[in-house]
């Protein structure tokens, strides 16, 4: 069992990253990262700005291919797989900054998440599931996404990722810029999504909320993993408390 009572910490790895090196031009952004997410887990990546958290997600989702190392999803290598094929295989992301289509309605944004699917009746039932998770989106379903609050837009971004019916959901800074009441709500929903059977890799600046929700965590510093442990242990780790939880 996980630190928060959900997830299956002893499950089979759904995602395995081995010794990946990723570059932006000549900048060596990831310097040999290895990590795994097991079936049913929430795993969090912690680290300061520029540590390599978003680059790790971009390496997984095919937007920034590693020059070295391997990424395996459900036992199959996806290191050089095209981004749209990675979505088809079952990995979807809610990106940092939400990146919605602001002039399209909430419903149209959600439909964009399912654009590679053709199982219409299943898409409808997944839309209902998103509206159950986010009743606010159902109320706003005809509204242009760009006119909603930050919290509502974040809900829409997560909902859009869920419309791809992922087995692994990548979340990049879901609480960024949100009012505290929305942060609580978003994290409740992250737990619900996980309880419904989706494994989650979470990048989050709010380390305390992330560790409360997660089973395990990895701490990144300048492109390297410097610490890996279960979430409960990381919460009590002196270095983590000082650096990420704001304790002196």
Please report whether residue 59 resides in a domain. Answer: yes
pLDDT at 225 over 70: yes
Domain count for the chain, please give it: 1
CA 172 distance to own-chain centroid: 5
Please report whether residue 178 resides in a domain. Answer: no
> Tens digit of pLDDT for each residue in 16-36?
999 999 999 999 999 999 999
Bigger pLDDT: 63 vs 118: 63
**Cα 19 to Cα 170: distance, rounded to the nearest angstrom:** 20
Please report whether residue 60 resides in a domain. Answer: yes
Please report whether residue 86 resides in a domain. Answer: yes
Mean pLDDT, the chain, as a whole number?
A: 91
Nearest of 111, 99, 197 to residue 146 by alpha carbon = 99
**Cα 14 to Cα 29: distance, rounded to the nearest angstrom:** 24
> Tens digit of pLDDT for each residue in 172-221?
999 988 888 889 989 999 999 999 999 999 999 899 999 999 999 999 99
Return the pLDDT at 247: 66
Q: What is the CATH number of the domain that holds 80?
A: 3.40.50.300
Please report whether residue 118 resides in a domain. Answer: no
Q: Specify the pairing of strand 199-203 against strand 168-172.
A: parallel
Return the pLDDT at 179: 87
Please report whether residue 84 resides in a domain. Answer: yes
Return the pLDDT at 132: 94
Output the pTM of the full model.
0.91
Listed in sequence order, the residues at least 6 apart from 82 whose beta carbon sits closer than 8 Å to its beta carbon are 62
pLDDT at 7 over 50: no
Return the pLDDT at 182: 86
The parent domain of residue 232 ranges over: 1-90+201-248
Please report whether residue 7 resides in a domain. Answer: yes
Q: Specify the pairing of strand 42-46 against strand 216-221.
A: parallel
């Amino acid at each position: 069992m996980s630190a928060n009572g959900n997830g299956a910490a002893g499950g089979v790895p759904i995602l395995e990253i081995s010794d990946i090196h990723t570059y932006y031009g000549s900048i060596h952004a990831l310097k040999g990262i290895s990590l795994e997410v097991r079936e049913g887990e929430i795993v969090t990546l912690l680290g300061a700005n520029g540590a390599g958290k978003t680059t790790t997600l971009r390496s997984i989702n095919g937007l920034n291919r590693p020059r070295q190392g391997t990424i395996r999803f459900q036992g199959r290598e996806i290191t050089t797989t095209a981004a749209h094929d990675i979505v088809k295989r079952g990995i979807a992301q809610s990106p940092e900054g939400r990146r919605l289509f602001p002039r399209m309605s909430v419903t149209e944004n959600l439909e964009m998440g399912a654009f590679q699917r053709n199982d219409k009746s299943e898409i409808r039932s997944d839309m209902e599931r998103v509206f159950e998770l986010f009743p606010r989106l159902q109320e706003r379903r005809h509204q242009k996404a760009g006119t909603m609050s930050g919290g509502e837009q974040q809900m829409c971004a997560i909902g859009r990722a869920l419309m791809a019916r992922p087995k692994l959901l990548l979340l990049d800074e879901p609480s960024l810029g949100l009012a505290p009441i929305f942060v609580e709500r978003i994290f409740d929903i992250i737990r619900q999504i996980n309880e419904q059977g989706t494994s989650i890799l979470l990048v989050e600046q709010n380390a305390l909320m992330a560790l409360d929700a997660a089973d395990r965590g990895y701490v990144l510093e300048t492109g390297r993993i410097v610490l890996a442990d279960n979430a409960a242990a990381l919460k009590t780790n002196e270095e983590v408390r000082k650096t990420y939880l704001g304790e002196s």
